Amino acid sequence: MSFNRDKFIAEGFGQRYAWLDLLNSEQRDGFGRVTEHLQDSSWIQVFLSHWNLGARLGGGGSIEGLKRLRAFFCRTAEIVASGKSLPKTDLHWINKGLHVPLHRRVWTRKDRSYCVELVPVHRDWGWQRAELLRSLAELLVDDRHSRLKICPNLGCRWVFFDRSHGNTRKWCSDLTCGNRDKVRRLRARQRQQKDSSIKGKSFSRRSPLNGHPKVRD
Ligand SMILES: [Zn+2]
């Protein structure tokens, strides 16, 4: 499957936090079938360029490195979404990854105003990983972590940031997983009603009271 930016956005990537895209790169279709986007160089290219991380994996980077970072993000999301605090060892690992050399640079905008920014000394994998870890750190602060959710559909498990007004969103999408759950519950109710009406009929056939329930004395 070849990815371009439109398809990337249409699939639900590129929303607010870069680390969530890497985390969801092992994408399930709602029925448990998995697409491994890290095997697709076009997905990696769009992912990196969308988040201004260069056109390809930097020096020292590899698919295995991305997978290891994704495994860490998966563990982190499970902990954060369950309302627990991250262990100190994980915070230490994040801080270590954030420690990459940067320098300040002054430049002019089109309107001739000046601007100072921090730029990486090396645009390598270490910097790309630090940027992904930075996006995780940005979600952890200011109580935003309470909005991290994991879709409860076991065949999906999409991790998302809940932007709803009351932080009440449950499913990755009401149109897919939410709707499937509605249909599943409706069918379960219909089955239950059917079962109880069959039981009622067989009871009335057996009943010596010709259709009236037997009264205990
Ligand atoms: Zn879902």
Segment 55-88, tens digit of pLDDT? 999 999 999 999 999 999 999 999 999 999 999 9
Local confidence band at 142 (pLDDT 50, 70, 90 cut-offs):
confident
Domain ranges of the chain: 5-167, 173-217
Q: Reply yes or no on whether the pLDDT at 206 is more than 70.
A: no
Local confidence band at 203 (pLDDT 50, 70, 90 cut-offs):
low
Of all residues in the chain, what percent carry a pLDDT higher than 70? Answer: 91
* Nearest by Cα to 71 from 50, 90, 52: 90
Residues with a beta carbon under 5 angstroms from ion ligand 1: 151, 153, 156, 158, 172, 177
Q: Reply yes or no on whether the pLDDT at 8 is more than 80.
A: yes
Distance from residue 87's CA to the centre of ligand 1 (Å) = 27
Q: Reply yes or no on whether the pLDDT at 208 is more than 80.
A: no
Distance from residue 180's CA to the centre of ligand 1 (Å) = 9
Domain 5-167 homologous superfamily, CATH: Jann2411-like domain (1.10.3300.10)
H helix runs in the chain, sequence order: 5-10, 18-23, 41-50, 63-81, 88-98, 125-140, 179-206
Alpha-carbon distances, residue 15 vs 11, 34, 58, 133, 146 (angstroms): 10, 21, 23, 16, 17
Distance from residue 58's CA to the centre of ligand 1 (Å) = 32
Distance from residue 90's CA to the centre of ligand 1 (Å) = 27
